[in-house]
Amino acid sequence: MYAGLNKEEVSALKEVTKMGFPPKSWFGYKTMGVHGFSAVYPGMVGSDPTYFQDFWKIPGYLGFDDATSLLKARIQKTSVIKLAIAQDQAVKDGLIPAPAQNERGTADAAWKGQGLNEEGKIAVAFQLNDQLPAIDFLGGDLVILSGDAAGKTLPLSGIDDDKVILGIADLKVVGLIRPGDQVRVDNSNFIAAQTYHRHQVPGKEYYVWDQFRNADGEPIYPQRARLLAPSFTKAAAGVLPSGKFKGKMILLSSLYDREAFPWNADWYYSRVRENLKDQTDNNIRLWYTDHALHGDLTLQEDPTRTVSYMVLCSRHYVILANG
User: What is the per-residue pLDDT across 70-94, written as a single tens digit (0 to 9) for each?
Assistant: 999 999 999 999 999 998 899 998 9
In a domain, 97, yes or no: yes
In a domain, 83, yes or no: yes
**pLDDT value of position 285:** 94
Tell which of 120, 153, 186 closes a domain.
Answer: 186
Looking at residues 41-47, what average pLDDT do you find?
A: 94
pLDDT at 49 over 90: yes
The reply to whether 167 and 261 lie within a common domain is no
**pLDDT value of position 14:** 97
In a domain, 266, yes or no: yes
pLDDT at 124 over 90: yes
In a domain, 61, yes or no: no
Cα separation, 300 vs 285, in Å, equals 27
> What average pLDDT does the chain have?
89
**pLDDT value of position 101:** 58
Hey, which of 119-123, 207-211, 235-239 has the most confident mean pLDDT? 207-211
In a domain, 218, yes or no: no
Name the band, by pLDDT with cuts 50, 70 and 90, for residue 310: confident
The number of domains in the chain is 2
Burial 240-256 (b: 16+ CB within 10 A, else e): eeebeeeeeeeebbbeb
The reply to whether 251 and 174 lie within a common domain is no
**pLDDT value of position 261:** 95
In a domain, 115, yes or no: yes
- Element counts in the chain: helices (H) and strands (E): 13, 8
The reply to whether 80 and 153 lie within a common domain is yes
Query: Phi, psi (5° rounding) for residue 127?
Result: -95, 135
Range of the domain at 148: 75-186
In a domain, 11, yes or no: no
CA-to-CA separations, 319 to 31, 32, 298, 311, in angstroms, rounded? 35, 33, 21, 13
| pTM of the predicted structure, to 2 decimals | 0.86
The reply to whether 176 and 105 lie within a common domain is yes
**pLDDT over 90 for what percent of the chain?**
72
The reply to whether 94 and 164 lie within a common domain is yes
Tell which of 151, 186, 221 closes a domain.
Answer: 186
pLDDT at 96 over 50: yes
Q: Is 25 helix (H, G, I), strand (E, B) or coil?
A: helix
The reply to whether 248 and 323 lie within a common domain is yes
